[in-house]
Structure 1
Amino acid sequence: MTSIGVKVIRGLFGAAERVAPQIGGKAAFQLFCRTPNPKRLSEGEKRAIDRAAGFMEEARHHRLRVGSRCVMVHEFRPRQGRENAGTVLVLHGWRSRTEYMKSLIEAHRDAGFRVMSLDLPGHGGSVGRRLNLATAVRAAHVAGEWFGPFAAVVGHSFGGAVAVNAVAGSIVGIPPLAASKLVLIAAPSSIPVLFKDFGRYLNLGPRTQSALAEEVRRIAGRPLDEFIGSRQLAETPVPTLVIHAPDDREVPADHAELFAQAGDHVRLRWAPGLGHRRILSDPAIVEETLGFVARQAVTAH
C-alpha cells in the first residue's frame, strides 16, 4: 500500500508538471540522489555489520578527499608470506557498505591480492547524504590515483554501474579508471531505465521527466540516454564477467542480457535462486569471481 507521504509527494510533482517542471525536475533529482539514513539500519544490516567487526579491524583505513567531501577506502593486504598478485577495487551497491562485500574481499585477499574497498559517498565510513553516478565515479577515480592501476574492479548493483562508467570514462572531465578486468554482479545496465522507473514512481509528467534528465546532463556532462552499459562496454573492450540471478527483484535480469550483447569480451554467468544480495556470499559465485580475476592477473606496481 502506498504511504500518505508518497501520495503527497506524487501530488506535488503532478502540480509541478503544470506550473514549474524545471523546479520539479531539480527536486526529483535531489530525491534520487538522497542516500539512506545511516542511523536507520534494519536488524539484518546491524547483524551483518557486527559479524564483520573483526574483519574490518584487519583493514587499514584511508580517508580521501573528493571535492569538498571525504570518502573512506579500506585496504585489505594479502596474508603475510603471500605474493601480491595485484590490486582489486571493490565497489558496493546502494544502501550497502564494505562489510557486505566481506566474502568477496576475503577470497581475493587470501589469494594474494591487495583489496581496496571504497565506501561510496553517503555510505559506510564515507560522509554525506548525497550520491549520484558522477560523484561515485569521481570517488573511484581518486581511489585509482592513490592505489591503482587495478587488476580488476568488482562492483555489485549500483557499484557495478559505477565500475563500468569509471572504466569507460563516461563522466566528462574525469579520466578513465585504469583496470584490466571488470566483474559486474547484479548490476544495472541502463541508467535511463532507472530514471524512467523512478519518474513513474513519483508520477512525473513528461516535462518534469525531461527536466530531470537535464539535471543528469548538467552534472555528468552527457545526455542521459548515453548512459547505456552495453554501449559503454562495446566501446571499452575490457574483459568482463557479468553475474546475475534470473530471480533478482531489484535489478531485472534483462540488464545482464544487455551487458552480454556488448561483445565477445563479456561473459554472462547466471546464478539462479540467489536474488540480489545472497549472490554476494555464495561460495560458487565467490570462487568464479576469483578465478576470473586471478586468471592472468596484472600485478600492480
Structure 2
Amino acid sequence: AAGTVLVIHGWRSRTEYMRTLIEGYRRAGYRVVSLDLPGHGQSQGRRLNMVNAVEAAKVAGEWFGPFSAIVGHSFGGAVAANAVAGSVRGIQPVAADRLVLIAAPSSLPAIFADFSRMLNVGPRSQLAMADRVEKLSGRPLGEFTGDRQLAEALVPTLVIHAPDDREVSADHATRYAGAGDHVSLHWADGLGHRRILADKGVVEHAVRFAIGHGESTLMH
C-alpha cells in the first residue's frame, strides 16, 4: 500500500461528508483512516474543542500512524495543522509527511472574533473565552494562528480554498500560504465551503499532492 492517510471532517459534520476524498485516496492505493471528532458522527462526547480534537488526532496517530498525509476540511483542517505543529501543550506532534487543508480557518483569534460578532458576545465574555483557551491548551489564544504553526512545523502543505467561501473567508488561505515556501495554495473557484469536498478536480489535486506530484515538489 502507498501508506496511510488520516481524514478529518469539519464542525457540525461527519466522516460521510468526506466520502469523495476518502474514495480518491483509496483508489490511489492508500489506507484511509477517518475520524469522527468528539460529539460528532459516531463518536461519543458532548463537546468539541481544539484540545480534545487534537487529542483524538493524536490517538489516531498512535494507532494507525505515521501518516503519509493528514487531510482536513474546515475546522478539521485547523485541527490537522495544530496536531502536526504540536501546538497544544502536553500533546506530542502527530507525525505526517504532508498536510492538505481544505477550506480551513487559519486563525483561532479570527474565528473567535467572527463568532463573537455573530452572537453579540461582549468584551468581558471574549476575555473569559480567551482565558479558557489558555487554561485548556497551555498557550494564549493569540498563538493559535495557522501561519505561525506551519512556520514551526515545516511539513509540505497544500491549501485548497474557494475565493467565494462564505463560511471561512479566503483571507485564511492567504494567511496559511504566507507561512513559507513549503506551503502551496490552490484556488478552487466557485466551489464555496462545502461543494469543494465533492469536486473531482479538488480531490485529484489533494491525492496527487500526497503522492508527491504537482505542487508538492516543494520538499525541503
SS in 2 for 1:117: strand
Alignment partner, residue 23 of structure 2: 106
Distance apart, 1:128 and its partner CA: 1.9
SS in 2 for 1:181: strand
Alignment partner, residue 178 of structure 1: 95
Task: State the AA in 1 paired with 2:50.
Answer: L
Length, aligned pairs only: 214
Alignment partner, residue 131 of structure 1: 48
Distance apart, 1:192 and its partner CA: 0.3
Distance apart, 1:202 and its partner CA: 2.6
Whether 1:274 aligns to 2:184 is no
Whether 1:286 aligns to 2:203 is yes
Alignment partner, residue 82 of structure 2: 165
Q: Distance in 2 between matches of 1:195 and 1:114?
A: 35
Q: Distance in 2 between matches of 1:284 and 1:169?
A: 31
Q: Distance in 2 between matches of 1:275 and 1:201?
A: 20
CA RMSD of aligned residues (A): 1.1
Task: State the AA in 1 paired with 2:101.
Answer: L
User: 2:165 pairs with 216, 241, 248, which one?
Assistant: 248
SS in 2 for 1:112: coil
Unaligned runs of 5+ in 2: none
Alignment partner, residue 191 of structure 1: 108
C-alpha offsets along residues 17-42 of structure 1, whole Å, 9 cap, x if unaligned?
xxxxxxxxxxxxxxxxxxxxxxxxxx
Distance apart, 1:294 and its partner CA: 1.0
Q: Distance in 1 between matches of 2:7 and 2:57?
A: 10
Q: Distance in 2 between matches of 1:234 and 1:117?
A: 26
Alignment partner, residue 152 of structure 2: 235
Task: State the AA in 2 paired with 1:175.
Answer: Q
**Moved segments of 4+, more than 6 Å:** none
Same amino acid, percent of matched pairs: 69
SS in 2 for 1:180: strand
Q: Distance in 2 between matches of 1:100 and 1:186?
A: 14
C-alpha offsets along residues 181-221 of structure 1, whole Å, 9 cap, x if unaligned?
00000000010011112222232222221111000001111
C-alpha offsets along residues 31-85 of structure 1, whole Å, 9 cap, x if unaligned?
xxxxxxxxxxxxxxxxxxxxxxxxxxxxxxxxxxxxxxxxxxxxxxxxxxxxx00
Q: Distance in 1 between matches of 2:52 and 2:110?
A: 20
Whether 1:117 aligns to 2:38 is no
Distance apart, 1:230 and its partner CA: 0.5
C-alpha offsets along residues 133-189 of structure 1, whole Å, 9 cap, x if unaligned?
000000000000000000000000000000000000000000000000000000000
Q: Distance in 2 between matches of 1:205 and 1:109?
A: 47
Task: State the AA in 1 paired with 2:47.
Answer: R
Alignment partner, residue 7 of structure 2: 90
Q: Distance in 2 between matches of 1:200 and 1:291?
A: 39
Unaligned runs of 5+ in 1: 1-83
Q: Distance in 2 between matches of 1:203 and 1:117?
A: 35
Distance apart, 1:236 and its partner CA: 1.0
Q: Distance in 2 between matches of 1:271 and 1:199?
A: 28
Alignment partner, residue 63 of structure 2: 146
Task: State the AA in 1 paired with 2:148.
Answer: R
Question: Highest Rg: 1 or 2?
Answer: 1
Task: State the AA in 2 paired with 1:279.
Answer: I
Whether 1:205 aligns to 2:122 is yes
Distance apart, 1:111 and its partner CA: 1.0
C-alpha offsets along residues 108-129 of structure 1, whole Å, 9 cap, x if unaligned?
1111100000000111110122
Q: Distance in 1 between matches of 2:179 and 2:124?
A: 32
Alignment partner, residue 5 of structure 1: none
SS in 2 for 1:151: strand
Task: State the AA in 2 paired with 1:288.
Answer: H
- Superposition TM-score, scaled by structure 2 size: 0.95
